[in-house]
Amino acid sequence: MAYSDKVIDHYTNPRNVGTLDKSSHKVGTGLVGAPECGDVMRLQIQVDDNNIITDAKFKTFGCGSAIASSSLATEWLKGKSVDDAMKIDNMDIVEELALPPVKIHCSVLAEDAIKAAINDFRVKNGMEPIVLEKSHH
């Protein structure tokens, strides 16, 4: 199967690989997926006092599309408000990376990782976790 140029670009030069201090109350961490399924994503956001995401990092165990989806997600997250980050939809990722149908689950995982990271941040800071309307699984 041929990968799109954008997937190859993100895979070859992944943006924002790394680790933020998960004990910090300014950092939200989302860990989604399962090793048995062949993909695990860890996505982290750092949020400032104005609710703006100032930094985002990821580490992913998975195929090229999973790595590219998480790399793209971190790129999009930086500079966004937490509220706007909540609005990122997996289909935006599918479109941007031209993912084929068999790889749509990679984008779903990235969206789940974003939401999990935001909820982790909210809970850490005394807010209620946002109840996710749709479950992809």
What's 43-98 look like in SS3? EEEEECCCCEEEEEEEEEECCHHHHHHHHHHHHHHCCCEHHHHHCCCHHHHHHHHC
Catalytic residue list contains 37 = yes
Let me know: does 123 contact 131? Beta carbons within 8 Å: no
Element holding 34 (H helix, E strand): strand 27-34
Shortest reach from residue 81's CB to another protein, in Å: 26
Shortest reach from residue 129's CB to another protein, in Å: 15
Pick the catalytic residue from 106, 114, 116, 118: 106
Closer by beta carbon to another protein, 28 or else 64? 64
Closer by beta carbon to another protein, 16 or else 46? 16
Shortest reach from residue 44's CB to another protein, in Å: 10
Pick the catalytic residue from 22, 37, 87, 95: 37
Catalytic residue list contains 63 = no
Q: What angle do CA 45, 113, 123 make, to 5 degrees?
A: 60
Closer by beta carbon to another protein, 52 or else 63? 63
The set of catalytic residues is 37, 106
